[in-house]
Structure 1
Amino acid sequence: MKITGIGVEVVSKPKAHAVRDALQLLDRDGHTKVVIETDEGITGVSDTYFGRVASSPAVLAAIITDQLAPAIVGDDPTLIRQVRQKLWRLTDYQGSTGLSLFGISAIDLALWDLLGKSLEVPVWKLLGAQRTSIPTYAMVGWLELDVPGLEAVSTKAMEQGFRGVKMKVGGGPLSEDISRIKAVRAVIGPDAPLMVDANQAFSYSEALRRGRAYSDLGCEWFEEPLPAADTESHIRLADKLDIPIATGENRYGQAQFRDLITGGGVGVVQPDLRRAGGLTDCLEIGLMAAGFGIPYASHGGGAHIHVLAALPNTIYVESGLLPPDGRVELVDGCYPLPLEPGLSSWSH
């Protein structure tokens, strides 16, 4: 089987309901869809999401169409790691991180989808899964919501069967965070996991101060307290706090996880499919973390559920609220794995 072509489609439009974290407004619904075609008529598909910057999907499409795709037409699509190596070498001069890696990731995911379809099995079966469902929590506590809004959406998440919820912090003073955390805790109960996410908003000293407060409030983890690239400060902070530091969604490729993990700067590893390098690199990052006894929780859901099914250190898949059409139901707070060939997924 050979790759005969790669098609790219772009969508970029305003989001119906914009959401806010401590650093940014996510007000776009952007997608770059990749379709890999083969001489045997089997196709593989991936969909890269952008929550802001109207031009990003089109810029990514140009990188894929003009640079990455021509380099792999004629290649064997089942040699996924060989394709990865070729594309990393190709983009080295301009930098293989940033949008270059978004493109590599999009192709990687489409190749895994194609492989699953060619063998007529879901990808989690190819990865050697050790579970058939994934524990999940709902990321619902955005900063544009007032306290009654937070209470309402957190209540709905628990009614839908999620194990717990995650909420944003850092949009105001610590006293505001504390009030919002207490309000959510009151509606989800004393035992449900409650995670907090600062989206890289704090300095080291402020992260230390707030992390101690979040720990005293019984939060499950403290996500992205610091700028993602500051490995040394993550290591210092983790040494001072009892609450686990969760991070990784803004790190690019395996190399950016190595020193963070070996230095003890992360308590929950959270790669992002787009930035880490696709399914291949997320799987390998997860296995690296497992070797150090560090749990893995995805950033986002979607195709990530296949990786989570295979890793020995999986603890959660991240999700929004369930779709209103009822096509997805949680069982004991877990997503069931999809049965369709390829990367089809219930998670969103």
Structure 2
Amino acid sequence: MISTIKSIKIHCFDYPRDRIIGDSQIASSRVWIGALELFDAHGNSGLGFFQSLTAPLPDAKFIRVLLESSSLEGLTGQTPEALIHRVTRPRGGNIQALPYHLDQAIDQALWDIVAKRADLPLYQLLGGTKNKVKAYGSGVCFHLTDQQVTDFYTNAIKHNFDGYKVKVGHVDLQRDIKRLLQISDIVGKDKRIMVDANEAWSPKEAIMKIRAFEQAGVPIFWVEDPILRYDYQGLNEIRQALKDTHVNAGEYLNLTGKKALLEHEAADVINIHGDFSAALRIGWLCAEKGLPIAIGNTPMEIGAHIASALPEVIYTEHSMLNWDYIVDSPYSIENGYIVLPDKSGHGLTLSTDNIKALNPSIS
């Protein structure tokens, strides 16, 4: 008899980042991350992650109450194999969005425990065959000083990524150009440079500024979220004007919004994150159009399992963030590729020693 989910455990962490990360809209100096564990009666567990960028997480007891009022009843007593395939339809207020990416944490934990019960690495359960996926280096560097940027990218090149992403969108165009030239000199002119404006521009601004970057000597492989997420017409205009630069969009959109990007021919690359169940659907949509996918930042690079499973994925973002302090054996990087462990599940476990040092709230 297949055992059901019996209990849940929640951890909430708050500790300093190893550098200030951010973009043209926000800055973050602390890691506010949570871990959600599901357990069955046979001792199997599933682990997922939730987070906040702009404010501390509430304590674990509050998160538990939040889940009990919305999702927990639908987890305990259920078989995880059924839950990962269950279809729910929103009607009125019967389905409400959970804050802090808790929905992704539940999804990740369910897929993890199912893979463990099948004794398969998660990427294989998802249909993947590669234990290495191509990554690009990302500094999330908008608020760093020039010296901090030099230090970060000088360290990043040891991983031999063939592409590097730079945060842009400063009110001073010359500041963006200076930073791009600085990073291009560090990583090498043979490396791809991507930029991410985090919706800082209008369509005309985006076209003008990307052309200015190119004229300054920095070809741009893709521009990510140059304008407002729902401006599908504007994104299409940028695509048409910038023939040599790909438009990457979708980070801030749900599955319906990503589908609209495809319908409006508003992106060359679709950006997705750490929801495994949604990723399988998005992969199908992109395959229909022949569109590539990029995996954005996911806690502990857990999205690399999605990258292995979906043939459309061309890159997985790796920002070398210290949120992996809370796990044992983070995924390694070899010659520009994230290496997935040969373990059942996603292969990540919480670090008992480091968790004790952080003294998190636990429920």
How high is the TM-score relative to the length of structure 2?
0.84
1:125 aligns with 2:128: no
Equivalence map 1:104-253=2 (5 Å):
104-140=103-139, 142-216=141-215, 217-242=218-243, 243-252=245-254
Query: 2:288 aligns to what?
Result: 291
Looking at structure 2, the residues matched to 94 and 208 of structure 1 have their Cα atoms a distance apart, in angstroms, of 43
Looking at structure 2, the residues matched to 232 and 64 of structure 1 have their Cα atoms a distance apart, in angstroms, of 38
Q: In 2, are the aligned partners of 1:32 and 1:60 still within 8 Å (CA)?
A: no
Once the two structures are superposed, residues 214-235 of structure 1 have per-residue CA deviations (whole angstroms, 9 ceiling, x without a partner) of 4552111101111223333222
Q: In 2, are the aligned partners of 1:248 and 1:257 still within 8 Å (CA)?
A: yes
1:75 aligns with 2:74: no
Q: In 2, are the aligned partners of 1:27 and 1:52 still within 8 Å (CA)?
A: no
Instruction: Determine which of 327, 333, 358 is the counterpart of 1:330.
Output: 333
Q: In 1, are the aligned partners of 2:10 and 2:63 still within 8 Å (CA)?
A: no
1:279 aligns with 2:279: no
1:265 aligns with 2:266: yes
Query: 1:5 aligns to what?
Result: 7
- For residue 107 of structure 2, what is the amino acid of its counterpart? D
Q: Secondary structure at the match of 2:285?
A: helix
Equivalence map 1:95-106=2 (5 Å):
96-97=96-97, 99=99, 102-106=101-105
Once the two structures are superposed, residues 49-86 of structure 1 have per-residue CA deviations (whole angstroms, 9 ceiling, x without a partner) of 32221146766554323210112322221113444x34
1:49 aligns with 2:48: no
Looking at structure 1, the residues matched to 98 and 116 of structure 2 have their Cα atoms a distance apart, in angstroms, of 29
Q: 1:256: how far off?
A: 1.3
Instruction: Determine which of 35, 38, 45 is the counterpart of 1:36.
Output: 38
Once the two structures are superposed, residues 98-120 of structure 1 have per-residue CA deviations (whole angstroms, 9 ceiling, x without a partner) of 628x2322211111000111112
Q: In 2, are the aligned partners of 1:199 and 1:225 still within 8 Å (CA)?
A: yes
Once the two structures are superposed, residues 260-304 of structure 1 have per-residue CA deviations (whole angstroms, 9 ceiling, x without a partner) of 01221111111122xxxx211012212311221111111114221
Q: 1:148 to 1:157 in 2, by over 3 A?
A: same
Looking at structure 1, the residues matched to 85 and 51 of structure 2 have their Cα atoms a distance apart, in angstroms, of 25
Looking at structure 2, the residues matched to 157 and 305 of structure 1 have their Cα atoms a distance apart, in angstroms, of 18
Q: Secondary structure at the match of 1:201?
A: coil
Query: 1:93 aligns to what?
Result: 93
Unpaired runs of at least 5, structure 1: none
- Which stretch of the first structure deviates more once superposed, 116-125 or 56-65? 56-65
Q: Secondary structure at the match of 1:40?
A: coil
Looking at structure 1, the residues matched to 342 and 257 of structure 2 have their Cα atoms a distance apart, in angstroms, of 33
Query: 1:341 aligns to what?
Result: 344
Looking at structure 2, the residues matched to 213 and 309 of structure 1 have their Cα atoms a distance apart, in angstroms, of 36
- For residue 333 of structure 2, what is the amino acid of its counterpart? L
Aligned residues: 337
Q: Secondary structure at the match of 1:114?
A: helix
Q: 1:19: how far off?
A: 2.0
Q: 1:172 to 1:131 in 2, by over 3 A?
A: same
Q: 1:328 to 1:45 in 2, by over 3 A?
A: closer
Looking at structure 2, the residues matched to 61 and 105 of structure 1 have their Cα atoms a distance apart, in angstroms, of 15
Unpaired runs of at least 5, structure 2: 350-363
Once the two structures are superposed, residues 151-170 of structure 1 have per-residue CA deviations (whole angstroms, 9 ceiling, x without a partner) of 33222211232222111101
- For residue 30 of structure 1, what is the amino acid of its counterpart? W
Q: In 1, are the aligned partners of 2:123 and 2:129 still within 8 Å (CA)?
A: no
Q: In 2, are the aligned partners of 1:8 and 1:65 still within 8 Å (CA)?
A: no
Q: 1:167 to 1:66 in 2, by over 3 A?
A: same
How high is the TM-score relative to the length of structure 1?
0.87
Looking at structure 2, the residues matched to 118 and 73 of structure 1 have their Cα atoms a distance apart, in angstroms, of 17
Q: Considering Cα pairs closer than 8 Å and 6+ residues apart, tell me whether 1 or 2 has the greater RCO.
A: 2
Q: In 1, are the aligned partners of 2:126 and 2:306 still within 8 Å (CA)?
A: yes
Q: Secondary structure at the match of 1:67?
A: coil
Query: 1:24 aligns to what?
Result: 26
Looking at structure 2, the residues matched to 316 and 124 of structure 1 have their Cα atoms a distance apart, in angstroms, of 16
Q: Secondary structure at the match of 1:52?
A: coil
Looking at structure 2, the residues matched to 299 and 308 of structure 1 have their Cα atoms a distance apart, in angstroms, of 10
- Which stretch of the first structure deviates more once superposed, 54-63 or 22-31? 54-63
- For residue 278 of structure 2, what is the amino acid of its counterpart? D
Q: In 2, are the aligned partners of 1:271 and 1:298 still within 8 Å (CA)?
A: yes
Q: Secondary structure at the match of 1:9?
A: strand
Q: 1:249: how far off?
A: 1.6
Q: Give the aligned CA root-mean-square deviation in angstroms.
A: 2.7
Looking at structure 2, the residues matched to 256 and 141 of structure 1 have their Cα atoms a distance apart, in angstroms, of 24
Q: Secondary structure at the match of 1:37?
A: strand
- Which stretch of the first structure deviates more once superposed, 14-23 or 56-65? 56-65
Q: 1:23 to 1:313 in 2, by over 3 A?
A: same
- Which stretch of the first structure deviates more once superposed, 189-198 or 63-72? 63-72
Once the two structures are superposed, residues 86-105 of structure 1 have per-residue CA deviations (whole angstroms, 9 ceiling, x without a partner) of 4x648x517644628x2322
Q: In 1, are the aligned partners of 2:192 and 2:220 still within 8 Å (CA)?
A: yes
